Amino acid sequence: MATYSIAEAKARLSQLIDQALAGEEVTITRDGKPVAELRAKAPSSVRGRPSPHLVDELARRAKRLPALGQPAVNWHGLVRAEHEPAAASGLSAAPMFSRYVGVDYSGAETATSGLPGIQVYVAVGAAAPTEVRPQPARRWSRRALAEWLIVELPVGGRTLVGIDHAFSFPLRYFDKYGLERNWPSFLDDFQRHWPTDEDNVYVDFVREGVVGDGAARQGSSKWRRLTDGRAPGAKSVFHFDAPGSVAKSTHAGLPWLRAIRQRLGAQVHFWPFDGWSVPEGLSAVVEAYPALHNRLYPLEGRTSHQHDAFSVAAWMADMDRSGRLDRFFRPELTEAEREVAGVEGWIFGA
């Protein structure tokens, strides 16, 4: 059961509605005491879920609400009040994608090392996500994963891939080193200094100056991207050796994004760097953050790494099947924020 204060609920109402629709119990508290519950409307009485536009409108309206003055509020009633008129608007005619790939990308050994922290789950159509294992190896390596995606993305239908590491760095990094605010150029520059896609190269080898030139391309753990501030618990991409940190996996994974892009070119859309809208027919690769979704689904015997990959694939599939996926490609950002995020990247769903 997820618990949020009134202030948190006002700021995150759209997300909480998604959680409730996914079956999670959401409790609203005031002064630490439960005062209300948010739950999905019973299927027997539902004539149509709220449109994405209605959910967004309710979220904006909630941010303007005054403090609650009664002991409890029926938040379910708040949605239901405008639920019925919205039914006529309906949902998307068809899902945007036919396949959803969730990748947990923990660990930072060599490019060919099999890592228990790299897990892949795939959902196809209306089916639940299932684990995909490399053949003949028992565990995925970063190279094997990249090669698998290069083969799989052009075939098998339009695919959405969510990978659990940062896709770019804060603007302060670009400014410090005088880099062009261009993602492909950033990837080229990074790989020249951090060649973690080469054989027998550990992230720590570059950090310690054994190979590459990591000293010429370092950042501060105090630097955070705009999207990191919108995703609870997200850490700096330069925060090494900390629990839950994505620093090592990011520094290990960026050259492989470059490799996939170089091999597939215009056949795949890297969001949002190639644009905030995904062209019709193209598969897309997005930055995922499993902590946003993994509480929505029961563990069911999976390891934490397996569950993170499962949750990413399941959430993307659920959002698409319910007609709500498209709005996550259009996060509510000002023009200035959108310009920044176009360079730094954005966590899909944040």
Bridge partners of 130, per DSSP, are 122
3-state DSSP: the chain helix, strand, coil percent, rounded to 5? Answer: 40, 15, 45
Using pLDDT thresholds of 50, 70 and 90, give the confidence band for residue 295: very high
Q: What is the pLDDT of residue 113?
A: 95
Q: Residue 254 phi/psi, 5° resolution? A: -55, -45
Q: What is the pLDDT of residue 41?
A: 62
**What is the DSSP code string of 175-222?**
HHTT--S-HHHHHHHHHHH--TTSTT--HHHHHTTSSTTGGGS---TT
> Taking Cα atoms as reference points, which of 253, 260, 290 lies closest to residue 274?
260
Q: Is the pLDDT of residue 88 over 90?
A: no
Q: Alpha helices of 43-90 — where are they, by DSSP H?
A: 52-63, 75-80, 83-86
State mean pLDDT over 144-154: 96
Q: What is the pLDDT of residue 3?
A: 74
Distance CA(212)–CA(262), nearest Å, equals 21
Q: Is the pLDDT of residue 282 over 70?
A: yes
CATH class of the structural domain 2-89: alpha beta
All structural domains of the chain with their residue ranges: 2-89, 99-168+222-344
Q: Is the pLDDT of residue 9 over 90?
A: no
Q: What is the pLDDT of residue 129?
A: 98
Q: Cα dist. 274→64, 97, 145, 341 in Å?
A: 34, 18, 22, 12
Q: Is the pLDDT of residue 307 over 80?
A: yes
Greatest mean pLDDT among 30-39, 155-164, 239-248 = 155-164
In this structure, what token pair is assigned to residue 66? 């005054």
State mean pLDDT over 288-308: 96
